[in-house]
Amino acid sequence: MRNQAICFCPSGPPTIPPRFTCPKMIRRYNDFNAYLRNRFGCRVQKITVDAGFTCPNRDGTLSGTGCLFCNGKGSGSGAARLGRSIEEQIRSAKPRLAKRYKAKKFIAYFQSFTNTHAPVEVLKPRYNQALRDPEVVGLAIGTRPDCVDREKLELIGSFTATHMVWIEYGLQSASDRTLRRINRGHTVQDFVQAVRLTQGRHILICAHVILGLPGETTADIVRTARLLADLRVEAVKIHNLYVEKDAPLAEPYRSGQFTLPSRDRYADWVSCFLEHLHPETIIQRLTGDPDPESLVGPSWSLEKSKTLTKIHRCLEDRQTYQGRRYPSRYLLENFREGVESTSS
């Protein structure tokens, strides 16, 4: 028999809802792959693209240091530096992904650095190059919330007539104190404004969040989930904080200035986060993907499937699921706010 998971959530353990009692219901959250399969009728896989952009938090526009967790590669493959065109990156990845995942269609994922950090005249041909392949059915653009404007969003929105289009905004935390601490160079309000500016253009929004940032508590994590639930972003990507050797956090971590959560603690945080999200939000990922060669810690972040199993068991043991704490708390709080605003 498994050990019962410890509940770190301030509001205590919930009860199982009737809609999750079906024995066929394996996952207790909206899984991205299932969503894509429903939409396209086959396995759809992302192909990561390095389009040669930089980042304003690295190139001196905002700072030269970068976010404290960033390893300097900006989650990139370095393919652009090696002179590999966008088309070539897509062409060479397709057979590998088709073999490994039986994928039949693909999403071009502009992942490296900040993929809207250029004028529209530069952005347009790069996005177009990725969409020339008829098996590429979607475009996903990773960027910072302070790097979009109407003109760029109009360009990105223009692809929605023919493709599934995602924009992925790095938020990391809904606490400005945390964002300052990790040198993000933008505020929570920047994120809210970017989401508002994007909505209504048929562009799907994914928010990127890191759990376990230095100084963050369960209350911070709940606040982040609640903000995303309120904003009704279409998807989230969650991963644990891990430290790589070239990241500015490496030294403070080695010298014991902060600690990283255990796998158990992370699984509990993810469960808590999912409970407070909107029930319809799509979960694009629940774990990180560090480079084994440069990982400083925690070592468990290399064992992706063990971490996913732990999260699934944690949800099961707590008999909980995505959105479990969404409706009543929110309605109650909206009601309270209404009472306060009308009585003042």
Binding site for ligand SF4 (CB under 6 A): 55, 57-58, 66-67, 70, 74, 113-114, 144, 170
Q: Cβ of residue 145: shortest distance to ligand SF4, in angstroms? A: 10
Nearer to ligand SF4, 66 or 323 (CB): 66
Does 298 sit behind a cis peptide bond, omega within 30 degrees of 0 on the bond before it? yes
Nearer to ligand SF4, 70 or 108 (CB): 70
Nearest to 235 by CA among 290, 278, 186, 266: 278
Nearer to ligand SF4, 195 or 229 (CB): 195
Q: Cβ of residue 59: shortest distance to ligand SF4, in angstroms? A: 9
Cα distance between residue 50 and residue 75, in whole Å: 9
Cα distance between residue 145 and residue 231, in whole Å: 14
Nearest to 28 by CA among 311, 325, 328, 329: 311
Confirm if 83 and 48 have CB atoms less than 8 A apart. no
Which pair of structure tokens corresponds to residue 231? 């904003």
Amino acid, res. 258: F
H or E, element range at 46: strand 44-49
Q: Cβ of residue 58: shortest distance to ligand SF4, in angstroms? A: 5
Amino acid, res. 8: F
Amino acid, res. 14: P
Nearest to 216 by CA among 189, 251, 256, 181: 181
Nearer to ligand SF4, 193 or 218 (CB): 193
Q: Cβ of residue 184: shortest distance to ligand SF4, in angstroms? A: 7
Sign of the torsion angle spanned by Cα atoms 228, 73, 108, 165: positive
Confirm if 250 and 191 have CB atoms less than 8 A apart. no
Nearer to ligand SF4, 113 or 321 (CB): 113
Q: Cβ of residue 98: shortest distance to ligand SF4, in angstroms? A: 29
Q: Cβ of residue 246: shortest distance to ligand SF4, in angstroms? A: 11
Nearer to ligand SF4, 94 or 144 (CB): 144
Q: Cβ of residue 262: shortest distance to ligand SF4, in angstroms? A: 24
Which pair of structure tokens corresponds to residue 163? 């493709």
Nearer to ligand SF4, 67 or 283 (CB): 67
Task: Return phi, psi of residue 237, to 5°.
Answer: -120, 125
Nearer to ligand SF4, 57 or 307 (CB): 57
DSSP-derived letter for residue 86 is: H
Q: Cβ of residue 148: shortest distance to ligand SF4, in angstroms? A: 13
Cα distance between residue 25 and residue 111, in whole Å: 32
